Structure 1
C-alpha cells in the first residue's frame, strides 16, 4: 500500500503514528529495516519480484475462490428450488387441505419457509465447519500455514444462506400461491 511504498523510499519521512504502524506491521520493507537495525554490517533488501509474484498468485487464487463461491451459491439455489418444489408437490394435498380449512397463503408459505430454514441452518452449520476444515487442509498443503477465520465471516455466511434459501424457495412459493384447494383435493 501507499504507506509501505513511502516507507521503503525513506522511513524518516513518516509521521510518528505512520512509522509505528509501518514498523509494527509485517511489511517487507519494515522487516528489512529491522534486520538492518539488529545486525551490524548487513544490507537487507527485499526481493520484490518474489513478493509481487506471491501477491499476484494470491489475488488470482482469491478470484478463483470467489467465482467458485458464486457458482456454488447458484447451484445451491437451484438445488433448494428443486427440493422444495418437489416437497411442495408431494404435499400438495396437505397444503390444499390446510387452505380448505382456512389457512391463508402467508401461513402456508411461513410453514414451508420455516421447515426449509431449519434444514438450511443445520446444513449451513455443518457446511461452515466442513469448509473451515477444508480451508485449513488447503492452507497447510498449499501455503504451509493455517487459515485465520475472521469473526465477521459468521454473520456474512448467515446472510448468504438466508438469501440463497429465499431465492431457492421462490419457484415453490409461486406454486403454493397458485394452488387451488378444490382442484388438489379432487385429484386434478
Structure 2
C-alpha cells in the first residue's frame, strides 16, 4: 500500500488506537498510515493478523537514497569533466586565433570586449549543444524507459531551467583558462609570430 509517513499521531495510535480522542481517531483512521491500514485489515479479516513489513520499505528507501547519491555524484563528475573538455577546446581555439585576437587588441579593442566576444561565441555554441543534448537525452530516456520498464518516462519541465543554469556555469568555468590566456596576450609578440 502507498502510505503516509508516520508522525506523532500515528505512533500514539500504533500503541493503542482506543486512547485517541474521536477527532484524532478519525484523522488517524482516514489517513493512510501503516498502522491505520493494518487496523482496517484486521477489522475486515477477523481471524487474521496484519503487520507492516517495515524492512522492505526501509531497504527500498536505502537503495533509492544510494541510487540518488550515485546519480548526483555522476552528474557532478560529468560537469567537472565537461568543464575540463570545454576548457581545453576554448584554450586551443584561442591559441589558434591568437593572431586575430592580438590584432584586435592592437587596433584598440579592450580586454573586456575581446573576452565578451569569445564568451558570447562560446555561450552560443554551448546553448546549441545543450539543446541538441537535451533532445538526445529525452530520446535515450524514452528508449530506456520503454525497454527496461515498459513505459515512457514523464519529462519534468523543471529540469530545463536547472540544466540551463548548470550548462551556463560549466561553460563559464570552462572558459576561465582561455580568458586568463587572453588577458596575458601581448599583441606585439603575437603579431611578430613569437
TM-score, structure 2 as length reference: 0.76
Match of 2:76 in 1: 70
1:85 and 2:91 correspond: yes
Q: Distance in 2 between matches of 1:142 and 1:123?
A: 27
Q: Deviations over 1:92-137 (max 9, x none)?
A: 1110111111111111101110111111112222223333444455
C-alpha RMSD of matched pairs (Å): 3.4
1:50 and 2:56 correspond: yes
2:13 to 10, 21, 41: 10
Q: Deviations over 1:42-69 (max 9, x none)?
A: 7554321111111111111111111111
Structure 1: any 5+ residue segments left out of the alignment?
A: none
Q: Deviations over 1:130-151 (max 9, x none)?
A: 3344445555666666554433
Q: Distance in 2 between matches of 1:181 and 1:120?
A: 28
Match of 2:170 in 1: 164
Max radius of gyration: which structure? Answer: 2
Taking structure 1 as reference, are residues 163 and 111 closer, same or farther at Cα in structure 2, changes over 3 Å only? same
Taking structure 1 as reference, are residues 142 and 74 closer, same or farther at Cα in structure 2, changes over 3 Å only? same
Q: Distance in 2 between matches of 1:166 and 1:103?
A: 22
1:40 and 2:48 correspond: no
* Residue pair 1:120, 1:161 contacting (<8 A) in 2 also: yes
Which deviates further from its counterpart, 141-150 or 91-100? Answer: 141-150
2:31 to 4, 13, 23: 23
Q: Which secondary structure does the structure 2 equivalent of 1:10 belong to?
A: helix
TM-score, structure 1 as length reference: 0.78
1:184 and 2:190 correspond: yes
Match of 2:120 in 1: 114
